[in-house]
Amino acid sequence: MRPIHYVSSEILSLGLIKDIIEENKAIALSDEAILNINKSHEYLQEKIKNDDSPVYGINTGFGSLCNVKISSEHLSKLQENLVMSHACGTGDLVPKPIVKLMLLLKIQSLSYGFSGIQLQTVERLIDFYNNDVLPVVYTQGSLGASGDLAPLAHMSLPLLGKGEVHTEDGFMPASEILEEHGWQPLALQAKEGLALLNGTQFMSAYGVHCLLKAHKLSYLADLIGAVSVDAFDCNMSPFNELVHIVRPHRGQIKTAQLILEFLEGSEIGASENKKVQDPYSFRCIPQVHGATKDTLTFVTKTFKTEINSVTDNPNIFRNEDQIISGGNFHGQPLALGLDYLGIAMAELGNISERRTFQLVSGARELPQFLVNNPGLNSGFMIPQYTAASIVSANKQLATPASVDSIVSSNGQEDHVSMGANSATQCLRIIDNVETILAIELMNASQAIAFRKPKKSSEFVESFLGHYRDGVPFVDEDRLLADDMHASIGFLQSFSIENDILFD
């Protein structure tokens, strides 16, 4: 039987989300969530019936049209029009795993009972999630301020039987998938369109996806860096805990510990006649990788708060008998966090490429470009070019999007976060870092083979043994693009336990 995750006030963490994804858990509402949703909806309906005072987005227009009063008979049409008119996304398609995260995070936010949405609407979002009915959403269109309006509108269109959804072979009209499942299009009630569209679930879903991958790549950067340390026959003294106790950044200490653990028992590491000092890309792994770890900790905390929050507008406080229009949809915390994460991850790629450069340089008794008969063979000359090209691209992508703001909605929305652009840039950086690390691993595994008969640690030798199943030693020139793709695939398939990943 498929395991179930019950949406409730239980805190969503990265580890819990990873488990939900990997175990393909179905989603269901807890009794607590059902009660909260129903009470909020009933309160709002009663409020509308007994009080015709203007309340933003419930019986008024949107944005700079907030002063236009809407009559009670048009409240449902108002919400439907909102979803249709705001579905103005363009650009690339949002990856399906991120669309699924958008659904999960929107369900979570609506479950707290501060949104006034009807239970049926949340249950249909759950139907979409559980049946992999994934709306077609585009990457461009959100300013990351009034919520992720355009992406969330595209996510919501299929609720109305409009828009498109993904299939194995492409797309199909949402109306057809509803008919296939026997679902009727929803008639949105007051405030529901706003509850669906206002919110940070596009930025949040990208952030969660990026963080899950970034935590994994942070660990792999340490492991691959350790392979390179032995491959370059480095001095182990920079990893001595005494060095890091006197500058006790948590990430720095943790990185040094991991490098020592990975290389414990290494014959290469224990050998004498080491150079007095090694290049910074090896010697300063704890300081550089550690700083990225500390950034990950900060950004993880930011997103943990966000995905367990209410981010639509206005907020309904039934116990206090108040409906308040605020700004919880503004993505500034996420925009800054995503930019910071992108910069930190780009640095993992930057230092990785420098280690690759050193490994192919012909130093430390390694052959030039890590191949027998250099000259006849070019060996690993060009993978370093590729890594350098990607590192350069990351430097451009790491330019913060959050420092920009463009006035919209006739000046009503006069400061925006641009967090959606931060989100898509961040993912591109992280995907690029994966490739850069895969190239370093190709080079480090090749270089360490030239250290035989000396061996690295038992842990590293086992790791490289599994790697060699898909990426054999290069005796002479061959199509290295195939090896690069296999190396990327190896990293993608590499599994790490939660207690290690999120330590």
| Catalytic residue IDs | 56
Other CB atoms within 10 A of residue 248 CB: 8
Residue whose entry in the numeric block shows the structure tokens 């492409």: 170
What is the phi/psi pair of residue 173, to 5°?
A: -60, 140
Both tokens assigned to 341 = 């994460």
* DSSP structure string for 33-85: HHHHHHHHHHHHHHHHHH-----TTTSB-SGGGTT-B--GGGHHHHHHHHHHH
Helix (H) or strand (E) holding 216: helix 201-231
3-state DSSP helix/strand/coil % of the chain, to nearest 5: 60, 5, 35
How many residues does this entry show for the chain? 503
Other CB atoms within 10 A of residue 132 CB: 15
Residue 357 CB-density burial (10 A; 0-12 exposed, 13-18 middle, 19+ buried) = middle
What is the phi/psi pair of residue 494, to 5°?
A: -70, 125
Q: Among candidates 190, 188, 197, which has minimal Cα distance to 72?
A: 190
Residue whose entry in the numeric block shows the structure tokens 């509803």: 178
What residues pair up with 171 in beta bridges, in sequence order?
A: 166
Residue 294 in 3-state DSSP? helix
Both tokens assigned to 251 = 């990430």
Strand residues in 154-218 grouped as ranges (E): 164-166, 171-173
Output DSSP code: residue 341.
H
Q: At what angle do helices 201-231 and 250-262 cross, to 10 degrees?
A: 50
